[in-house]
Amino acid sequence: MPSLSTLAVYVVTATLILLVPGPAVLYIVSQGVRQGPRAAVTAVVGIHAGTLVQVAAAVAGLSWLLLNSSLAFTVVKYAGAAYLIYLGVRTLVGRSREAGDPAAATPKSTRRLLGEGFLVNVLNPKLALFFLAFLPQFVDPARGAPALQITVLGLVFVLLGLCTDGAYGLLAGVVGPWLRGSARALRAERYAMGTTFIGLGVFTALSPSARRTG
C-alpha cells in the first residue's frame, strides 16, 4: 500500500488535475444547467463508472496496450472523438428545436444520463494514457504488489472525482434555473456547450499520438 505521505501528495495533485474542466466536467455542467442538480449528480455517477473501467484497464495493462499499439490507440481515440462531436451536434440541434418553445426540451432519463456519462470517460484514450503516466509515479514496489497500489490510487482518483465533479454539477444545478429563465443566456449556454464539445472532439481526433512501438 502507498505510504500516507505519498497518498497525501497524490490527493493534492489529483484534485488539482480534476478541477481543470474537460469533457466530463463539460457534460456534467450541461446536464446540471438543463435539468437541475439531480441530473448532474446522475451524470457524475455515469462518468465515474466509466473511470472505474479505465482504472481496471490500467491495472490489467490495457493502458500499456493503448500506448504501444497503434491500432488500439487509433480505434479508441477516434471513437472518443466521434462521441464528443456527436454530443456537440445533439446539443446544437436540441438548441434549434427548443428555441421557439422551451417546453419542447425533453428531459433525459436516468438511464440515458448514466449511459452518456459512462461513454464520455470510457471512450477517453487520454484518460487511459494519463493513468499510465501518472499513477506509476506514486507506486513503490517495496511497499507491495504494484497492481494493488495502482488499484488503490485509481479508486482514490474516482472518489476525488465524485467530489469535484459533484461540486461542479451542484453549482450548475443552482445557476441552471436562472439560465433557463433567460432565453438569451440559454442560447449562449447551448452554443458554448455544443461548440466546445465539437472542438474537443476535433482536438482529440487531430492530436498527435505518443510514440508507440506496435
Q: Does residue 213 fall inside a structural domain? A: no
Q: Answer whether residue 141 is part of any domain.
A: yes
Tell me whether residue 209 is in a domain.
no
Residue 96 lies in a domain: yes
Domain containing residue 73: 4-16+23-204
Tally of domains within the chain: 1
DSSP letter string, the chain: ---HHHHHHHHHHHHHHHHS--HHHHHHHHHHHHH-HHHHHHHHHHHHHHHHHHHHHHHHTHHHHHHH-HHHHHHHHHHHHHHHHHHHHHHHHHHHHHTT-GGGPPPPPHHHHHHHHHHHHHT-HHHHHHHHHHGGGG--GGGS-HHHHHHHHHHHHHHHHHHHHHHHHHHHHHHHHHHHT-HHHHHHHHHHHHHHHHHHHHHHHHSPPPP---
In a domain, 196, yes or no: yes
Q: For residue 157, is it within any domain?
A: yes
Is there a domain that residue 182 lies in? yes
Question: pLDDT per position in the chain (214 positions), as tens?
Answer: 777 888 888 899 889 888 878 888 889 988 988 888 999 999 999 999 999 999 998 888 766 666 677 777 777 778 777 877 887 787 787 654 444 444 445 678 999 999 999 999 898 877 877 787 777 778 777 777 778 888 899 999 999 999 999 999 999 888 877 766 666 766 776 787 778 778 877 876 886 654 444 4
Residue 74 lies in a domain: yes
